């Protein structure tokens, strides 16, 4: 297993924080679908998360499998640790 650097953990934590906020906003929007301010906040966080995930994947490899993430050559899914292992 390869040892990730400090930036790996920082970026992974940032993704986890964005995911948490998006889940919370999703739950709120399920009961308040007409709250434009929160919907705008949700969309801003989606954009931040996409950017963060793209940067992470370009540096460390794919976050998801089954067609959700690209892989560089050679096939990166044999590289460890995987994001859910740290």
What pLDDT, in 10s, does the model give residues 17-44? 999 999 999 999 999 989 999 999 999 9
CB 12 within 8 A of CB 84: no
Q: What is the pLDDT of residue 62?
A: 81
Q: What is the DSSP letter of 63?
A: S
Residue 16 lies in a domain: yes
Residue 1 lies in a domain: no
What is the total count of domains within the chain? 1
Domain enclosing residue 73, as ranges: 6-85
The model's pLDDT over 42-73, given as tens digits with 9 standing for 90+, comes to 999 999 999 999 999 889 888 876 665 555 66
Alpha helices in the chain (DSSP H): 6-31, 36-60
């Amino acid at each position: 297993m390869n040892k990730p650097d400090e930036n790996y953990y920082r970026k992974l934590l940032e993704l986890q924080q964005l995911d948490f906020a998006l889940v919370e906003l999703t739950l709120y929007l399920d009961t308040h679908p007409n709250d434009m301010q929160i919907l705008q906040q949700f969309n801003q966080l989606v954009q931040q998360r996409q950017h963060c995930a793209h940067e992470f994947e370009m540096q460390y490899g794919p976050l998801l499998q089954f067609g959700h993430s690209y892989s560089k050559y050679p096939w990166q899914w044999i590289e460890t640790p995987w994001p859910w292992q740290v």
